[in-house]
Amino acid sequence: MSRTFLKMNGLGNDFVVVQTLTESFDPTPEQIRAIAKRDGGIGCDQVIAIDPPRAEGASAYVRFWNADGEVAGACGNGTRCVAWLLMQSAGKDAVAFDTVAGRLSGVAAGDKLVTVDMGPPGLDWTQIPLSEEMNTERVELQVGPIDAPLVHTPVCVSMGNPHVVFFVDAPVTDDFARGTGSLVEHHPLFPQGVNVGFAHIASRDHIRLKVWERGAGLTQACGTGACAAQVAAVRRGLTDRKARVEFDTGSLTIEWRESDGHVIMTGPITMEYAGKLPELVAA
């Protein structure tokens, strides 16, 4: 019998979630791509596996894959979905779980509303990582003509996965984000690739954002991208510590907490449906 999955999303950023308490899940990159494919597959931005815990104090160990089959270090919207599932399963209002990027935690914040502690951001060039040493608050990078670049001088942040954030004078179009994001994702400065954010500062507590995700392309929302944009904006002095980060599909509340340096994200989750993986990708 093929394996059951749950289809979930956070602000339209969608996931296929597999729980492995009774059966292991070790898909190949080809199998991940088959699951994620929107024409002929189930269709999703990321695939998530919820494994039994590997360390004391954790409810699970969680793995993420991007739609291109590559392992992802973190996924903010997916983290909220996982936290909600674990809280529902345990009948608790708070949960902690481990990932390759470290321990994350979540608490219930309302009906299908979850707050997650994404931990501290990585700000050193080695943590992003970049291919050469430079100040990550003002990175020497531009796209377009030297005398009239389309975007330039971004901020780099790691949220367990690499992000580069460009500040723009007005919200960008999907076509702009696709064209520019696809160029920057594989720039030699980023040896592991990079998620590309285009952030418009509407006010000191409001950011408009589009994100081209590494390995997934333009997605409707990106939780770690929202965290990175807020951290980047605070580093530049453009926003207060807490702000609403708005996508076309809705908003997340992000706080870069001064007391401990952790990034706190609050937002909704949606349970879409349960299904069975095709036999071809049930391994």
User: Pseudo-torsion of CA 87, 91, 95, 98, nearest 10°?
Assistant: -70
Report whether 140 contacts 153 (CB < 8 A).
yes
Using DSSP's 3-state secondary structure scheme, residue 86 falls into: helix
Tell me which residue has tokens 């720039």: 187
What single-letter amino acid sits at 243?
A: A
Give me the catalytic one of 44, 75, 81, 227: 75
DSSP state of 281: G
Report whether 224 contacts 46 (CB < 8 A).
no
Which tokens belong to 263? 């990034």
Closest-CA residue to 60 (of 91, 97, 25): 97
**Is 227 one of the catalytic residues?**
no
> Quick one: how many helices (H) and strands (E) in the chain?
4, 19
Burial 149-167 (b: 16+ CB within 10 A, else e): eebbebbbbbbbbbbbbbb
Q: Please state the separation of Cα 213 from the chain's center in Å.
A: 8
Give me the catalytic one of 44, 81, 156, 222: 222
Contacts of 82 (CB under 8 A, 6+ apart): 17, 48, 50, 60, 62, 97, 106
**Is 156 one of the catalytic residues?**
no
Instruction: List the catalytic residues.
Output: 75, 222
